[in-house]
A and B are shown apart, each in its own frame.
Chain A
Amino acid sequence: MNNGQRTVERELKVAEEAAEWLEKLPSANESERREYVDWLAESALNVQAFLHVSAIDASLDRVDPEGAIEVTPDPEVANWCNVVRFSEPCGDAAPVREDYSTPRRIEDGGYRKVGNIPGHEDGEGDEDVEADSTQRRPSRWWIGIAAGGATLAVIMAGLLSYDHYRTDQWQAYVTADGERKSYALPDGSLLKLNAATRVEVRYSGKARELRLESGEAIFKVRHDTSRPFNVYAGNVGVQAVGTEFAVQRRSADAVVAVLEGRVRVDRNAQALSAESGSALPSPAIGLNAADAPVQPVYLSAGEEARVRNDGLLEGRGKADLTRLEEWREHRLVFVNENLENVIAEFNRFNPDFQIRIGGPGAAAGQYFTMSFDAEDPESLLAVLERNPALRVERRKHDVVIRAQ
């Protein structure tokens, strides 16, 4: 047994080293990287530990999206009250991410506010939100939002209380053709819009309601038992508690696909709305709340259902998760695209990681047919670095691509 204990201790030590390298590598200088390579070369166990820790790290990217885990005071740290940044009164265990005060857009860089927040002008703190985000790990998009959210919560605390947002007004989120956007909603739920989509959002004390007017959206719902999260697509109502799902509205029907968790699909949006203590303003076409007492359908992760506007459930089966994941993960797909455009696209998604083309000759004749993670410009650089015609020059604040 003693032996086993010693093994575990050794494993822990190696894993700690691996975790340290994982954290350090993105900003490591050459001599540190050299050190890391030496460490790797020491033993296959080190490689294994590094892969294990990387895997843990990857799964932590998606940990607790609902923010259920509270950062509680550590009894050993006496001055927990220094934690003023989270805007919660000191004393009780303060959940860190509760105060998402305003919707934010999270594409081309800024965590910008959109729409009209009653009684509040565009905040001047926006730039601050992005500041020093280079410190943060490049991560899944919702982690990025969380990062922005935590900081934003601090900036906005006091400026804008949650009550300000609790209005009965519908607020619109819109994308044009060929455009995809992501928003963080006031409660920390996330809204990802596919191209040509319009979603209207209304948050009240009783319910979180969203109307999908056209197009397609993914909803990543933050757990809140006191206020159901309802999505209406024409006559179809979808209710979720702490889950992630997509709804696509088409002319005659709506397709609901569940990525995580479970949702309830109601073939009568008005009934769902009424149940949540509110009412849909415009009566849906063709169906009266009074008739069609159809049973709701429950879908779980990986399932999809198509519901016709008249309430008929047409198809229920396996969802095309690959397509949704691809969208969710912000994949950039290039088909025979020239280098200049590829770089421009990456720069748009990564304001803190700008790539420039140095000199007129560099981009000439370079075409790419590839698919990338939009938030991982390193993958592009890795490809460019293997290109004998190009030279990748990493500088302090940007990367320059030159002809060899």
Chain B
Amino acid sequence: MSLKAPSSAGTFVAHVVLAYGSQLHRFLMRRLRTREDAADVAQEVYLRLLRLERTDLIRKPAAYVYLVASQVAAEHRLREKTQPMALDSEALERLTDMSAFAASEEPGRVVDIDRELQRLLRKLSVAHRNVLILRKRDGLSTKEIASALALSEHTVKKYLFQAMAQLSVSRKTAKLERKSDE
């Protein structure tokens, strides 16, 4: 069985990648674990975004960032495996199965990530953690959180963004520390 080959490798990857959006997140989680990779991927994503047609980018901004990031990721991966990309059903399987997107990320890693996140969460201030947990775990809107915690929505948003930023930056720093320990 062979799949109809789309017009170009680009759209092919795009299609696959769009269909596997949630795995992209997981990929990013892992790929961004080392600083070099993160900077690397980000730089490449950046350059490609600049080349994209602006109107497209404006139409679906986040989707395009993920799309481009996952293209970069997929190419990274294929390069690592030094497998040429062929447009057949096998390639599709490779792309969808390959570990970059594979759902079965090593369980140990997932646990590590969770633990690390828990640790970072504990380091947040109570106010920041409350907002973040209500938003992300319990799925409340910022408005709902504002009324629940008797804060202004503006404050809730501020805490939310600060909390996310602190997690993101301290995870990066934690990585660095670990590296220098080794």
User: Which residues of chain A have a CB within 8 Å of any CB of chain B?
Assistant: 8, 11-13, 15-20, 22-23, 25-26, 28, 30, 33-34, 36-37, 40-41, 43-45, 47-64, 67, 69, 71-77, 79-80, 82-83, 85-86, 96-97, 132, 135-137, 139, 143-144, 146-147, 149-150, 260, 300-302, 321-322, 325-326, 329, 369-373, 376, 378-379, 382-383, 385-386
Contacts and interface: CB of A to CB of B under 8 A. Distances in A.
A34 B59 CA distance: 9
A96 B111 CA distance: 24
Of B15, B113, B142, the most chain A CB neighbours within 10 A belong to B15
9 contacts: A20-B161, A23-B160, A51-B69, A55-B28, A55-B168, A63-B118, A77-B149, A143-B136, A382-B18
Contacts of B113: 59
Interface in B33-70: 38-39, 41-43, 45-47, 49-50, 54, 57-63, 65-67, 69
A47 B42 contact: yes
B151 interface: yes
B14 interface: yes
Contacts of A8: 169, 173
Contact of A77 (B3, B104, B151, B171): B151
B66 A326 contact: no
B178 to A, nearest CB: 16
Interface in B64-81: 65-67, 69
Contact of B104 (A23, A50, A139, A321): A321
Contact of B46 (A13, A47, A144): A47
Of A63, A82, A146, A378, the most chain B CB neighbours within 10 A belong to A63
Contacts of A85: 147-148
Nearest to B40: A48
A33 B61 contact: yes
B117 A370 contact: no
A80 B151 CA distance: 10
B130 A71 contact: yes
B127 interface: yes
Given A18-B165, A302-B107, 13 more contacts: A15-B165, A30-B58, A43-B46, A51-B45, A53-B164, A55-B28, A60-B167, A72-B126, A79-B150, A97-B138, A139-B139, A373-B22, A378-B63
A251 to B, nearest CB: 28
Given A16-B162, A80-B150, A69 B169 contact: no
A63 B21 contact: no
A42 to B, nearest CB: 10
B138 A146 contact: yes
A137 B134 CA distance: 12
Given A44-B43, A83-B148, A329 B165 contact: no
A74 B130 contact: yes
A137 B25 CA distance: 15
Interface in B107-155: 107-108, 110-111, 113-114, 117-118, 121, 126-127, 129-130, 132-134, 136-144, 147-151
B5 interface: no
Contacts of A12: 162, 165-166, 169
Contacts of A322: 97, 102-104
A204 to B, nearest CB: 27
Contact of B19 (A52, A79, A370): A370
Interface string B3-26: 100000001001100111110011
A55 B49 contact: no
Contact of B28 (A40, A51, A96): A51
A373 B21 contact: yes
Contact of B172 (A19, A52, A71, A376): A52
Contacts of B18: 379, 382-383
B138 A150 contact: yes
A55 B18 CA distance: 17
A40 B117 contact: no
B42 A44 contact: yes
Given A18-B165, A59-B29, A83-B148, A64 B133 contact: yes
A41 B50 contact: yes
A61 B67 CA distance: 20
Contact of A372 (B19, B144, B160): B19
A143 B32 contact: no
B28 A83 contact: no
A301 B58 contact: no
